[in-house]
Amino acid sequence: MKNLFIKIFIVALSLIASPNFAQQKVFGKISDDQQLGLPSVLVFNYTKNIRSTSDLYGNFSIEADENDELRFVKESYYRTDKIIRKEIDEKPMYVVLLRAETLIPEVEIEYRPTGNLERDNKHYNDSKKVAKLKSSMEEYMKAPMPAPLPKSEIPKTFQGHDFNAGYVNPIKVIAEAVRLVKKASAPQITAPTYNETQDFLKRVKNEVDLSFLTKYGMNEEGIDHFLYYAERVNRLSKRFRKTFKAMEIEYELRGAFNEYSKLNKLSGD
């Protein structure tokens, strides 16, 4: 009889104490800075690894105890963290999520040729800083070396007897004379004027095979755009306007087109 009384006392005690040890339910509402309810917000009890989601009107409920950490997460909003305090039984929890700023990428407007050759040519020319840098590099490359490099050859002290010493090769003399004559008769390379550049580009369109451009659906305007690009990059008029060589110019244009096609979207790609 005594044992039965003890068992009944233990059961009754457990029933009385169970509400105090049961896990609490936290509830509340999630809204944005405009006081509009936010649906589908992830409510995460970081302490107990329990998850819940807000309903269509932003209402939520989740199991939590005092000092548990709740995290409120939604895409395009800043995350908000809350620590559960003792007063959670007295009133609902109100959570406000602030919208994260969205960076708008910078849009670069592509320049389209107007048909005015003077205006288009100014646009496609290098900037003053780039032109100055290129000019400085050209002057540096043309300038003589400050000190000669040592020759990679065996000193004469250790060389054998040169049986060709004092012998003049007539074939080499003639070849050198021909080279000097060609060099003297060749036109000097000079920077073209604006009109010379325009005349050269017109001649390129008339005499050079540009079928590899039309294959990519390029019209008259697109071909002009590419020729200005090739002229600006390879200085074709400076090199070929006095000695116009269609095959060499076409080869240069094909090389420039490989880079141009990487920078511009073409219909034939």
Amino acid at 18: S
What tokens appear for 179 in the block?
A: 């080279």
Q: Residue 85 sits in which domain range?
A: 25-96
Distance CA 169, CA 45 (A): 96
Backbone angles phi, psi at 254, to 5 degrees: -65, -40
- Nearest CA to 39 out of 47, 31, 49 is that of 31
Q: What is the CATH number of the domain that holds 82?
A: 2.60.40.1120
pTM of this structure: 0.35
Does residue 113 belong to any structural domain of this protein?
no
Per-residue model confidence (pLDDT) at position 56: 93
Q: Name residue, tokens 């040890």.
A: 21
β-bridge pairing 69-73 and 42-45 = antiparallel
**Would 224 be classed as within a structural domain?**
yes
Boundary of a domain, candidates 96, 116, 141: 96
Instruction: Confirm whether 181 is domain-assigned.
Output: no
> Pairing between strand 42-45 and 80-83?
unpaired
In a domain, 9, yes or no: no
First vs last Cα of the chain: how many Å apart?
A: 96
Q: Which of 96, 112, 147 is the last residue of a domain?
A: 96
Residue 249 placed within a domain:
yes
Residue 19: what pLDDT? 44
Distance CA 61, CA 154 (A): 91
- When divided into structural domains, the chain yields a total of 2
Does some domain include residue 221? yes
**Which pLDDT value is given to residue 32?**
92
Cβ within 8 Å of residue 47, ≥6 positions away: 64, 65, 67, 68, 69
Is residue 14 a part of any domain in this protein?
Answer: no
- The candidate with the shortest Cα–Cα distance to 77, out of 55, 95, 91, 57, is 95
C-alpha–C-alpha distance, residues 262 and 265, integer Å: 7
Is the separation of the CB atoms in 30 and 72 below 8 Å? yes
What tens-digit pLDDT sequence spans the chain (269 residues)? 555 555 555 545 554 444 444 468 899 999 998 999 999 999 999 999 999 999 999 999 999 988 999 999 999 899 999 998 876 556 789 999 999 877 666 666 666 776 666 666 666 666 666 667 777 777 766 666 666 666 666 766 666 666 666 566 677 767 776 676 566 555 677 888 888 889 999 999 899 888 888 888 888 888 888 898 989 888 888 888 888 888 899 998 898 888 888 887 766 55
For residue 92, the Cα-to-chain-centroid distance in whole angstroms is 49
Confidence (pLDDT) at 87: 63
- Residue 258 located in a structural domain: yes
Domain termination site, one of 71, 96, 121 = 96
